Amino acid sequence: MSVSLRNRRAALYAYSDAGANGLVSPTYTKQPSAAADGNWWASRGVPTGREALVAQQAALVADSVWGFDAGAPVTAPGLIVDVLTGTAFKITAILPRDLSRSEVQVLAVTSTDAKYTETP
């Protein structure tokens, strides 16, 4: 992905485990920006599709590369929600930028099972 034009609004969520007694309960809490809507400006590269094995079943997943300002609180694991489409993407990696330090590049995959909250 080239240095990007951030033309999408995206919500960023941090991962935490709200489980107890050995049970895992993944929870994602919104990390608001200073903007009125609490969302971040981002760019999204063209997604690619692939087949993955999920619970012994073949499932189609879409990978996507996102670009955010270097000050955005992007963490892996975490969650990106595209405000326009409502699609959730789980962050799988924070990738280095070769020629730019003012942007963070994020690899994410589509997620249908993430539960997230608006209040920090």
* Tens digit of each residue's pLDDT (9 = 90 or more) over 58-101: 667 778 899 998 889 999 889 999 999 888 899 999 987 777 77
Token pair listed for 104? 């963070």
pLDDT at 79: 92
**How high is the pLDDT of residue 113?**
62
Which pLDDT score, from 0 to 100, does residue 35 have?
Answer: 94
Return the bridge partners of 88, or none.
Answer: 81, 111
Give yes or no for a contact between 80 and 42, defined as CB atoms under 8 angstroms apart: yes
In a domain, 79, yes or no: yes
Q: Residue 112 belongs to a domain with what CATH number?
A: 2.40.10.370
Contact 64, 47 (CB under 8 A): yes
What is the domain extent for residue 35? 8-117
In a domain, 1, yes or no: no
Mean pLDDT over residues 2-24, rounded? 81
- Spatial CB neighbours of 105, under 8 Å, sequence gap ≥ 6: 1, 65, 66, 67, 94, 95, 96, 97
Q: Taking the model in full, what pTM does it have?
A: 0.80
